[in-house]
Amino acid sequence: MNKLLATLIAGFFAAGAFAQAPAAAPAAPATPAVAATPAAPAKAEVKAEAKAAKEDKKAQKKAAKEANKDAKAEVKTEAAKVEKATLPAK
């Protein structure tokens, strides 16, 4: 019985607090055709810019990889020349 009484009292307090809270202002419904039209070009622009940036980054990464590959090959050939020069003639 005590639990029932405690639950009822707590319920009355909750109902009283809920009744005193100010009503939320209803949100104005936006029509999908009107709301999507101005944002669509901006969204497409952002996508295009992101794609271009991604391609640019990819090209830079590829160029850096090629430069690294060329540098490694050059070091290898220089090392071979030095080794060949330091070996005694047979």
List Cα–Cα distances, 23 to 15, 26, 29, in angstroms: 14, 9, 18
0.85 exceeded by the pTM? no
Mean of pLDDT values over 73-86 = 82
CA atoms of 49 and 81, how far apart (whole Å): 48
Task: Rank 18-22, 36-40, 42-46 by mean pLDDT and report only the highest.
Answer: 42-46
CA 57 to chain centre: 16
Torsion of CA 32, 38, 40, 41, to 10 degrees: 170
Number of H helices, E strands in the chain: 2, 0
